[in-house]
Structure 1
Amino acid sequence: MSDGGGRSGGGGGLGGGQIQMPGGMKAGGGVAGIVIILIIVAVNYLMGGQSPAAGGSLDSGQMVAEGADSGRYDNCRTGEDAATDPDCARVLVENSLRDYWAATLPEQAGIELDPATMETFTGAINTGCGQATSAVGPFYCPPDQRIYLDTTFFADVLQQQLNGPAGDFVEPYVIGHEYGHHIQNLMGTMSRVKTQQGPRSDAVRLELQADCYAGMWVKAATSTQDATGEPLILELTDQDIREAIAAASAVGDDKIQQQTQGQVTKETWTHGSAASRMKWFQTGYQQGSLQACDTWAVDTP
């Protein structure tokens, strides 16, 4: 986990530029367009200053904050830190995801995990996928194998302008979804994206699969252990799970389009309907397998 602090992106924001995303998708322009084309990958990262990350008890084992550029995460060492500091809760979620996939990916796919990294920033940042501003929201950049997020985006843009839901477990769901894209990158799934828009498009299948992978992690989160053998997250409540499911539903293309443009145009969907996103998150949560998350195996995902 690292933090780039406040940076000038070197180009004055997304504006007329574009960001290259998995499967050839691009994003640019105003908030509504960004949300419809790109941000639905993580539209509900609404920490809102609340903690702990998982809404329950956290272990007191040592946590690791790697490569903290600005020093933002230097104090994140224990579960107690995560229980009282939203930044440290974010580190715990990253650690839990890394440890879960380090065990699950070899076991289910025969692939060793090359862990993704995560970088927070404010203002703007240059990435291997192009320049990003806070308007872009959380995203995964395949060339960098890194998740980027401006931690001010959700409160300032998403919550205030798009009425996104809040909740302690919304941010972990979003980070889990983005880590799911990293797993797809390692498995070569992103190369399957040929069609970019529509409810049956490859782009939609990619996003729904990332939701399913997030559900897989959530199901196993309380059994993922730190280096001392202690669980990183001791408890997930029914409320935590409801928040994750609500987040998945709230970022459906249909709901975002209805709110931002007053009508639903299925042919432009890039992430799937609210019902589909909720369904695939629940599939991952209930079945816990990569095979169950094969969104390409069904006619209508």
Structure 2
Amino acid sequence: MRWQGGRRSSNIEDRRGMGVGRPLAVGGGAATIVIALLVALLGGDPGSVLSTSSSSGPGTGGSGRTADPAQAELEQFVSVVLADTEDTWPDLLRPYGVSYADPHLVLFSDAVESACGMQESAVGPFYCPLDERVYLDLGFFQELDQRFGAPGDFARAYVVAHEVGHHVQNLLGTSERVQAMRRQSPRDANALSVLQELQADCFAGIWAHHAEQQRHLLEPGDVEEGLKAASAVGDDTLQRRARGHVVPESFTHGSSAQRMQWFRRGLEQGTVEACDTFGAASRGQRPSP
């Protein structure tokens, strides 16, 4: 991925090493066992399962910075990818009457306090709609490489773009509508979560489409890296590794096939209309787990 020399975002908050205490609890069924934490690794909407708490103030940066060259390069990479999403989404949302507000991305280590509650690094990257921030421990990229077998710059960019996709859902009002539907029909909560996650995958594909068409950021093999990352974090893949069997009705993020399909759809078509996972489900077009 041709990211070196790209514009860096000014919306990075560095809270690494700030000494946030361990959470009293990591709320919701998705946190009851280790694999459930891994299932939640691409976050989505922790506000749906966590008790709301008071937001911590924005990090001022600096106190958590590290002299580790590898960490410094990852920080720069994340900043460039975030900046590129900032250049992509405003024009795409303007026809919907939505003014794109840049999300902040919070770098943290070990644990972090957000408006959606206090979380540990084990939950992976997540987006909190209550404070419009993406939260990321850079150590997750090592997990993505070593534990999930999805290495490469573009696989990491997919993670950032997916979380920004949840921010887009928040701006479009999708997150609020999904929460309302979950309250009205609790038995459909998992299925609705899957549709929301698949749409964020598709939105990540939209970003990749425009990053290539307009700025030529992609290199040979990048698409395969993104698809591999999407496949690696499918619910069926994670459950099979943890349990040896798959329970489709417990899916909250979608199967590997679904995640790859919707990421590819956004990548190939590059339009918000192409990412209507909810409409596709109502028409019976959702792929089988």
TM-score range, shorter chain: 0.7 to 0.9
Alpha-carbon distance between aligned partners in 2 of 1:294 and 1:287, rounded to the nearest angstrom: 12
Q: Deviations over 1:75-103 (max 9, x none)?
A: 9xxxxx9xx92221111101000111122
Does residue 115 of structure 1 match 2:102?
yes
Q: Is the 8 A contact 1:41 1:138 kept in 2?
A: yes
The Cα shift of 1:262 comes to 1.1
Could you say which residue in structure 2 is the equivalent of 1:34? 37
Letter in 2 for 1:5: R
Does residue 270 of structure 1 match 2:252?
yes
Q: Is the 8 A contact 2:42 2:163 kept in 1?
A: no
Alpha-carbon distance between aligned partners in 1 of 2:157 and 2:141, rounded to the nearest angstrom: 13
Could you say which residue in structure 2 is the equivalent of 1:4? 15
Specify which of 125, 136, 160 is matched with residue 175 of structure 1.
160
Query: Which runs of structure 2 are paired with 1:217-232 in the superposition (5 Å)?
Result: 217-222=207-212, 231=215
The two structures have a TM-score, normalised by structure 1, of 0.75
Alpha-carbon distance between aligned partners in 1 of 2:132 and 2:257, rounded to the nearest angstrom: 29
Alpha-carbon distance between aligned partners in 1 of 2:205 and 2:14, rounded to the nearest angstrom: 26
Q: Is the 8 A contact 1:5 1:120 kept in 2?
A: yes
Could you say which residue in structure 2 is the equivalent of 1:100? 88
Q: Is the 8 A contact 1:128 1:141 kept in 2?
A: yes
Query: Which runs of structure 2 are paired with 1:59-208 in the superposition (5 Å)?
Result: 69-70=61-62, 85-107=73-95, 109-155=96-142, 157=143, 159-160=145-146, 162-193=147-178, 194-195=181-182, 201-208=191-198
Q: What SS does structure 1 have at the residue aligned with 2:17?
A: strand
Letter in 1 for 2:251: W
Q: Deviations over 1:111-150 (max 9, x none)?
A: 1101111010111111001011110110000011000011
Alpha-carbon distance between aligned partners in 2 of 1:92 and 1:274, rounded to the nearest angstrom: 27
Q: 1:71 to 1:103 in 2, by over 3 A?
A: farther
Q: 1:124 to 1:141 in 2, by over 3 A?
A: same
Letter in 1 for 2:235: D
Letter in 2 for 1:91: S
Letter in 2 for 1:89: F
Does residue 281 of structure 1 match 2:263?
yes
What percent identity do the matched residue pairs reach? Answer: 37
Does residue 17 of structure 1 match 2:26?
yes
Q: Is the 8 A contact 2:14 2:107 kept in 1?
A: yes
Q: What SS does structure 2 have at the residue aligned with 1:285?
A: helix
The Cα shift of 1:74 comes to 11
Alpha-carbon distance between aligned partners in 1 of 2:188 and 2:66, rounded to the nearest angstrom: 44
Could you say which residue in structure 2 is the equivalent of 1:55? none
The Cα shift of 1:40 comes to 4.2
Alpha-carbon distance between aligned partners in 2 of 1:67 and 1:9, rounded to the nearest angstrom: 12
Letter in 2 for 1:247: A
Q: Deviations over 1:232-285 (max 9, x none)?
A: xx4311311110111111111100100011110001000111001000001101
Letter in 2 for 1:211: D
Q: Which has the higher helix share?
A: 2
Could you say which residue in structure 2 is the equivalent of 1:78? none
Alpha-carbon distance between aligned partners in 2 of 1:198 and 1:273, rounded to the nearest angstrom: 17
Does residue 239 of structure 1 match 2:221?
yes
Alpha-carbon distance between aligned partners in 2 of 1:98 and 1:203, rounded to the nearest angstrom: 25
Q: 1:300 to 1:269 in 2, by over 3 A?
A: farther
Alpha-carbon distance between aligned partners in 2 of 1:121 and 1:28, rounded to the nearest angstrom: 19
Alpha-carbon distance between aligned partners in 2 of 1:269 and 1:215, rounded to the nearest angstrom: 21
Alpha-carbon distance between aligned partners in 2 of 1:69 and 1:183, rounded to the nearest angstrom: 25
Could you say which residue in structure 2 is the equivalent of 1:49? none
The two structures have a TM-score, normalised by structure 2, of 0.78
Letter in 1 for 2:241: Q
Q: 1:71 to 1:91 in 2, by over 3 A?
A: farther
Alpha-carbon distance between aligned partners in 2 of 1:182 and 1:128, rounded to the nearest angstrom: 14
Count the aligned residue pairs. 252
Q: Is the 8 A contact 1:139 1:148 kept in 2?
A: yes
State the structure with bigger RCO (CA 8 A, min sep 6), 1 or 2. 1
